[in-house]
Homo-oligomer: A and B are copies of this chain.
Amino acid sequence: MSLKIVGFGPGDPRLRPPAAAQAIREGDVIVGYESYLRLVEDLLEGKEVVSAKMKEEVYRARVAVEMAREGKRVVVVSDGDPQIYGMAPLVLEMLSKYSWRPGVLEVVPGITAALAAGARLGAPLGSDAAFISLSPLLLPKELILRRIEAALSGDFVLALYNPIDKALLREALALVVRWRGPSAPVGIVKDAYRPGERTFLARASEVPLDEVDMRTILIVGNSETYVWDGLMITPRGYHRKYAYP
């Protein structure tokens, strides 16, 4: 009996680490959100597959733990990294509620969406960054907005995941405008490293909300972030110490 919670990265097999593919190949049962399972279809032949829709994460975690208890080698897959808004926390919570731990238990890290989106934009995550989910399903809106304001007050780069609530996104961007000004650059990446990928830049006051969906990541720079030739660059800080080029 084993339980592995695996991130396979953005979806492009070229960004899928060998450890993720190997874990899936060695599993008896693969559990995942149905549209993400399509991204690892090449590995699923002959497997028992438990797929489920969005908002069924608790069901998936429970099934995974119960099947592992029955002696199966279970692999729960998330896109990106399984910790970052993926299935790992919930599956481990479930184990802790059952007070049961399988003989083999492993979390396999992956490339999370902010890193993929950032790479497509240039290097906006070049200094300290805060990762924030804008989904109000699991956290109160007040806490989400408090986190955005805290991150802005600390001059963090912001990586905003799951912008499914347009009203909340509008409030978040209003905070960005207040702290960083209307011209602050925002990088917007939809479906990074997937078919139909779209990458563009906007001023904080002019983010086209119609073009943002839940598969979109928004990256807000810090006070030093700049755009050059379409690239979003956040200096790490070398300019404080060295003259260059």
Contacts A15-B109, A236-B89 given; indicate if A83 touches B133 (C-beta within 8 A).
Answer: no
Kindly specify which of A34-42, A143-151, A164-172, A201-209 makes contact with the partner chain. Answer: A143-151
Write out the residue numbers on chain B whose beta carbons fall within 8 Å of the beta carbon of A133. Answer: 127-128
Residues 74-98 of A, flagged 1 when their CB comes within 8 A of B and 0 if not, give 0000000111110011111111111
Contacts A9-B17, A107-B123, A150-B150 given; indicate if A115 touches B81 (C-beta within 8 A).
Answer: yes
CB distance from A55 to the nearest CB of B (A): 9
- Among residues of B, the one whose C-beta sits closest to the C-beta of A107 is B119
Asked whether A104 is an interface residue with its Cβ less than 8 Å from the other chain, the reply is no
Give the total of A residues in contact with B, Cβ under 8 Å.
Answer: 86
A238 to B55, CA, bound (A): 10
Kindly specify which of A24-32, A46-54, A153-161 makes contact with the partner chain. Answer: A153-161
A119 to B238, CA, bound (A): 30
- A108 to B97, Cβ gap below 8 A? no
Can you report 12 A-B residue pairs in the complex whose CB atoms are below 8 A from each other?
A14-B18, A15-B17, A83-B118, A83-B126, A88-B119, A90-B235, A92-B228, A93-B238, A94-B245, A111-B111, A130-B130, A130-B131
A residues sitting closer than 8 Å to B (CB atoms) are: 5, 9, 12-19, 22, 57-58, 61-62, 65, 81-85, 88-98, 101, 106-112, 115-116, 118-120, 122-133, 137-139, 143, 146-147, 149-151, 153-156, 226, 228-229, 231, 233-242, 244-245
